[in-house]
Amino acid sequence: MKYEHNNISPLDSRYANKILDTRDCFSEYTLIKERFNIEIDWLIYLCSNKNFPKISKKSIKKLYEFKSSFSDKEVLKIKRIENKTNHDVKAVEYFIKDYCLKDRTLSKYVNLIHFGLTSEDINSLAYAVIIKNGINIHLQKILFLNKKIKNYSKKWKNIPFLSRTHGQAASPSTLGKEMKVFSSRIDREISLLKSITPLAKFSGATGNYHTFNLVDNKVNWPVFNKRFINSFGVIQNQFTTQIEPHDWISETAQAITRVNNILIDLSQDMWIYISNEIFALKVNVDEVGSSTMPHKVNPIDFENAEGNFGISNSMNEFFVNKLTKSRMQRDLSDSTVLRNIGLSFGYSQLAISSISKGLDKVKPNKEVILNELNNNWEVLTEAVQTIMRYEGIDNAYEQLKSLSRGNKLNKESYLKFVSDLPISDKSKEKLLKLTPSKYIGLANKL
């Protein structure tokens, strides 16, 4: 893909090839095209109302051909009009009007282009379509990554390793179970993201259908306009000011943030596991880990993911706090903000791509894992004191605390302590068979 090297955003240069579908979805081209499509479809739909002039099938065919011929050439023409009008939606209206005026039949309908609407009606529906498509693209990326996490969860379900709570040795788990924690968290957020309902308005200047009602007060305009909005797979928000209040966009940003945060958590954990040699990184002979230290194989994919998720989150936080507020019936500050909504998706997807790549590079370092377990027999003191309490020894915790807190136990000292315990032979046998690598509870089943 060709791209300019003077773009200000790395999403349009260095990382462009990694998010092609999202860049297409949220591009200026797509926004203009959606406005263009909506304006033409509204003209056709409006004339299906018996109170408006009927458009012939031949004329409708011409309008559909006009729609299907939309390209970069049309965008440039619309942008030239916008340079004069300083109004993006009006520029689309004038562009369509110019086309219709060149046709003897279509010229009769130019007065009905953008009829009864404010620019926010066009924009709210255009953004609803774009963001809806963006959510679907984003969901596919998340689902692909989560499938990979689930596969690792199954693959590693029987590999025990030493857990860390507060950074200190704790009851062992399995690598697979810890991956399962992340996949199940993501599953929940996927369901919530799927449940988001895109909303739009088509009710005029301050949301009260003034012009529609003035023309014909016998038409149920909310229902008529609702059918039009629904044809785009979008739900009508009937109660609005001049703008659709963007609460659903805020919900989208918050849902993306929650997924981002779960994956930041995974990225940071993987970084620490790699640092502690629980995972080894597969070597790519063509990559350079450091410009000065040839030996280094860095966890750069997890670091890149963390950084880009953070950028996405920062933007989402602003979207949530900004877009749901508008002075009185409208101010224009949301307009410039909405133009950046695709960046949040873009940085999040760039991070998803990085973390997916990072997971492909890791493999459990079983020798290190086993050595770490065998060097931390003190984690079995939880098991011992639980059995002691079960058998009625009331100071079990205190005895184990005295034995192990701040001290290292080895296999011999553990076995001696258990052998001397005043507990039943059955319980003693359980504890004597126990090792750190076997003390995993139900982790592998979970």
Domain CATH for 419? 1.10.40.30
Per the listing, tokens 């998340």 go with 142
Same domain, yes or no, for 258 and 283? yes
Q: Residue 45 corresponds to which tokens in the numbers above?
A: 């739909």
Closest by Cα among 346, 343, 272 to 302: 272
DSSP-derived letter for residue 54 is: P
Q: Residue 402 corresponds to which tokens in the numbers above?
A: 């005295």
**Residue 165 bridge partners (DSSP):** 168
Residue 82 in contact with residue 35, Cβ under 8 Å?
A: no
**N-term to C-term CA, the chain:** 45
Residue 29 and residue 370: Cα distance in Å, rounded?
Answer: 56
The residue out of 61, 94, 115 marking a domain boundary is 115
Residue 236 in contact with residue 230, Cβ under 8 Å?
A: yes
What domain count does the chain have?
3
Residue 291 and residue 269: Cα distance in Å, rounded?
Answer: 26
Phi, psi of 74, rounded to the nearest 5 degrees: -70, -35
Q: Is residue 416 part of a domain?
A: yes
SS3 48: coil
Q: Which residue type sits at 233?
A: G
Q: Is residue 439 part of a domain?
A: no
Same domain, yes or no, for 304 and 185? yes
Catalytic residue, from 5, 166, 291, 295: name it.
166
Domain CATH for 311? 1.20.200.10
Strand pairing report for 199-200 and 235-236: parallel
pLDDT in tens, 248-286: 999 999 999 999 999 999 999 999 999 999 999 876 545
Q: Residue 112 corresponds to which tokens in the numbers above?
A: 């009905």
Q: Which residue type sits at 367?
A: E
Q: Is residue 28 part of a domain?
A: yes
Q: Is residue 441 part of a domain?
A: no
Residue 191 is among the residues annotated as catalytic for this protein: no
pLDDT in tens, 348-379: 999 999 999 999 999 999 999 999 999 999 88
The residue out of 115, 137, 172 marking a domain boundary is 115
Residue 295 is among the residues annotated as catalytic for this protein: no
Return the pLDDT at 293.
39
63 pLDDT above the threshold of 50:
yes
Among 144-153, 162-171, 288-297, 398-407, which stretch is predicted with the lowest mean pLDDT? 288-297
Residue 25 in contact with residue 133, Cβ under 8 Å?
A: yes
pLDDT in tens, 391-410: 887 777 677 676 666 667 78
Return the pLDDT at 423.
86
Residue 389 and residue 148: Cα distance in Å, rounded?
Answer: 42
Return the pLDDT at 292.
43
Residues in the chain: 446
pTM above 0.85, yes or no: yes
Domain span at residue 326 reads 127-199+243-364
Return the pLDDT at 94.
96
Per the listing, tokens 């009937």 go with 238
Q: Residue 269 corresponds to which tokens in the numbers above?
A: 């954990």
Q: Is residue 121 part of a domain?
A: no
Residue 263 in contact with residue 310, Cβ under 8 Å?
A: no
**Residue 163 bridge partners (DSSP):** 170
Same domain, yes or no, for 347 and 271? yes
Same domain, yes or no, for 175 and 96? no
CA atoms within 13 A on the CB side of 169: 21
Return the pLDDT at 283.
62
DSSP-derived letter for residue 378 is: G
Q: Residue 209 corresponds to which tokens in the numbers above?
A: 């259908």
Same domain, yes or no, for 397 and 346? no
Q: Is residue 392 part of a domain?
A: yes
Q: How confident is the model at residue 11 (pLDDT cuts 50, 70, 90)?
A: confident
Same domain, yes or no, for 356 and 381? no
Give the helix/strand (H/E) hosting 174.
strand 168-174
Same domain, yes or no, for 132 and 88? no
Catalytic residue, from 275, 290, 402, 424: name it.
290
The residue out of 115, 146, 176 marking a domain boundary is 115
Closest by Cα among 35, 50, 54 to 118: 35
Q: Is residue 255 part of a domain?
A: yes
118 pLDDT above the threshold of 70:
yes
Give the helix, strand, coil percentages of the chain, each rounded to 5: 65, 5, 30
Q: Is residue 219 part of a domain?
A: no
Q: Which residue has the higher pLDDT, 7 or 120?
A: 120
Same domain, yes or no, for 93 and 161? no
56 pLDDT above the threshold of 50:
yes
Same domain, yes or no, for 354 and 406? no
Same domain, yes or no, for 166 and 272? yes
Residue 44 and residue 54: Cα distance in Å, rounded?
Answer: 9
Mean local confidence (pLDDT), 178-185: 96
Residue 298 in contact with residue 290, Cβ under 8 Å?
A: yes
Residue 365 CA, chain-centre distance (Å), reads 31
Phi, psi of 225, rounded to the nearest 5 degrees: -70, -30
Per the listing, tokens 């659709």 go with 244
pLDDT in tens, 299-333: 899 999 999 999 999 999 999 999 898 888 888 78
Same domain, yes or no, for 304 and 193? yes
Domain CATH for 48? 1.10.275.10
Mean local confidence (pLDDT), 6-14: 84
Same domain, yes or no, for 190 and 308? yes
Q: How confident is the model at residue 294 (pLDDT cuts 50, 70, 90)?
A: very low
CA dihedral angle for residue 37, residue 39, residue 43, residue 44, rounded to 10 degrees: 10
Closest by Cα among 49, 96, 106, 59 to 225: 49
Strand pairing report for 160-165 and 362-364: unpaired
